[in-house]
Structure 1
């Protein structure tokens, strides 16, 4: 049986937009982890004011990259600095197309001289593996899909638990019998918990201090129970799948931008190698901002705030385009704070709308017309309203600028993209991204 490719799906639909545009699409949340434990509001509050335990074991796609050409394969297809990449360090990997559009990011950890682990949604992994195999690099790949897509079921190879919040360090000291070795942000160190080997990554959600622990799945249940028991006197709160999707809105990370791969004729073979039933073919687009041209949804790593991660000390796919683009960044990443009264009126029929989460591309307007699009929108209970990570024209990005979010679902092809469909408007105010003060100032200070 022939497995349909991404290009097969585009050809059948007539265009990438026809394939991906799904009005009213529900955001995906991990099905293996409970949606809520104590309630999404309490769970969000925990990493702001107390301590929270998050289970990341099931929704990440892991790919190990190992061999003499591992570094070269990653450097040739990513914009990061590989001359300064220590064993035990992690980076946000930034692969781009030859036009300078991001493929998507991922967390790349260096585990050895010639061994890396790339984690996240599997678009960056597909990109690296395809080009490495086509280019004849001396490198091998081992993959472990997320639990929702692992054929035949079974357990992950690794567990990942995050301890987050102001009391995170205290909980960790109690669990390990003392403080962990001093570790820079986004660096990891080998530790043991009651004789079980783990790696501890300095990490944080929404700007709070925290740690991410990973290890072999055979130790998962023990480590989880140890954290739960140790954290009980500190008021530890388990975080479910709903609340877990929201801290990125505060910390300024835009998840799952549209990969810039759908139109380049030189990527035809790549699209023919990608399965239709993967992230590139099934991650939907929706919202009030509709365009017939998929390229209108492509984004530059500069727009996502990744400029400091880009290094021109080596050659890589997209280098020339990024060099030209760095002084011509049209849009800026900001946080929109939606007016609480308008949120209740539009989303809750006058009442508290409860949990709100969408990755819809909603139009952001001023009197001048369209000035931006939302990328992820979510209720943030400690803030008291809904926030939206947004890409906005730079001249409208100053904090305090008042804009309007057009809330609705454009039906797609066959309806004028500029048609007035009577969608309600929500007033909003531009604020910095990251929104969280700690994340804006101290979060990466010792990186």
Structure 2
């Protein structure tokens, strides 16, 4: 039986947008983990006010990249600085197309001189593996899919537990019998618990203090139980899938932007190599913003705030395009929109408390002059008492305090004019900085 490719799906649908457009698509939340443990509001409050445990073991793909050419292939197809990349350090990997559009980022951890783990949604992993195979690089790949897509089921290769919140360091000291070594942001330190060795990655969410503990799955149960037991006196809260999907709105990370791979004729072979039933063919588009042109959904790493990660000291695919885009005043700005609570209750909640709101829909952001931008993710953030949207906004409207409106609705897609007045309700909103969280915005990466 022939496996359908992404290009097959595009051809059958008539266009990339025709393939991906799915009005009313359910928002993604992590698989396997319970939706809620004690309620999403208390779970969000835990990493703001106390201490929270998050299980990241099941929803990400992990790819081990090893061999004499591991660094070379990652550097050839990613914009990061590999000259300053220590063993034990992690970086947000930024792969881009020749036109300078992001393919989708991932977390890249350097495990050895020529050994890495690339984690996250698999679009960046596909990009690296394809170019390595096509270019004859001396490198090997081992992939562990997320638990929902692991053939035959079974356990992950790695556990990942985040401990976050103002009491995180106190809990960690209780578990390990004292503080673990002070570690720079996105660097790791080896730790041992009852003879079990793993690592602690200095990491945070929504600007809060904490670590991500990563190790062999055989130790998962013991480590998890140790944190639960030591956390009882501190009021440790386990975070479920609903609340877990929301902190990126505060911390300014845009999850899963549309890969810039669907329209370039030079990538036809790549699209034929990719399976249709993968992230590139199945991650839906929806919302009130609609365009027949998939290029209108592509994103520059500069728009995502990744400019500081781009290193022009080496040659890489997309370098010329990013050099041209550097300092481009026409690029959109990443901002946080604070949605008017009365309008949210009216539009989303039908006049009542809307409860939990989570959406990855691309909603139109407008001013009196017309279209000004598009939302990327919207979520209830109970500790700040608001529904927030991350959005990409034209520079002219990106100043904090600017008043805009969000058009809340589901465009039917191909066959209807993108600019048609479909009577969608409007939600007033105020532009604020991104990251919205002050600590994340000013101090989060200061000791990187």
TM-score tier by shorter-chain length is over 0.9
Tell me the residue number matched to 2:33: 33
Distance 1:289 1:141 in 2: 38
- Mapped contact 1:363–1:373 kept (Cα < 8 A): yes
How many angstroms does 1:29 deviate by? 1.4
Tell me the residue number matched to 1:404: 405
Tell me the residue number matched to 2:174: 174
Tell me the residue number matched to 1:349: 350
Distance 1:193 1:436 in 2: 33
The Cα offsets for residues 335-378 of structure 1, whole Å up to 9 and x where unpaired, read as 00000110001000110110000100000000000000000000
Tell me the residue number matched to 1:433: 434
Distance 2:196 2:395 in 1: 50
Tell me the residue number matched to 1:126: 126
Large movers: runs of 4+ above 4 Å: none
Tell me the residue number matched to 1:365: 366
Tell me the residue number matched to 2:284: 284
Distance 2:231 2:96 in 1: 42
Tell me the residue number matched to 1:43: 43
The Cα offsets for residues 196-220 of structure 1, whole Å up to 9 and x where unpaired, read as 1111000001000100001110110
**Superposition map of 1:37-436 within 5 A:** 37-329=37-329, 330-436=331-437
Distance 1:31 1:64 in 2: 22
Distance 1:368 1:5 in 2: 41
Distance 2:134 2:103 in 1: 18
- Mapped contact 1:30–1:148 kept (Cα < 8 A): no
The Cα offsets for residues 262-294 of structure 1, whole Å up to 9 and x where unpaired, read as 010110000001010100000000000000000
Output the TM-score relative to the length of structure 1: 1.00
Distance 2:219 2:81 in 1: 34
How many angstroms does 1:327 deviate by? 1.8
How many angstroms does 1:328 deviate by? 1.1
Residue segments in structure 2 that go unaligned for 5+ positions in a row: none
Cα RMSD (Å): 0.5
Aligned residues: 447
SS in 1 for 2:148: helix
Distance 1:323 1:13 in 2: 35
Distance 2:396 2:306 in 1: 20
Output the TM-score relative to the length of structure 2: 0.99
The Cα offsets for residues 33-65 of structure 1, whole Å up to 9 and x where unpaired, read as 000000000000000000000000000100000
Distance 1:356 1:151 in 2: 32
Residue segments in structure 1 that go unaligned for 5+ positions in a row: none
After alignment, is 322-331 or 103-112 more displaced?
322-331
Q: Does 1:11 align with 2:11?
A: yes
How many angstroms does 1:314 deviate by? 0.3
The Cα offsets for residues 376-403 of structure 1, whole Å up to 9 and x where unpaired, read as 0000001111000000001111000000
How many angstroms does 1:408 deviate by? 0.2
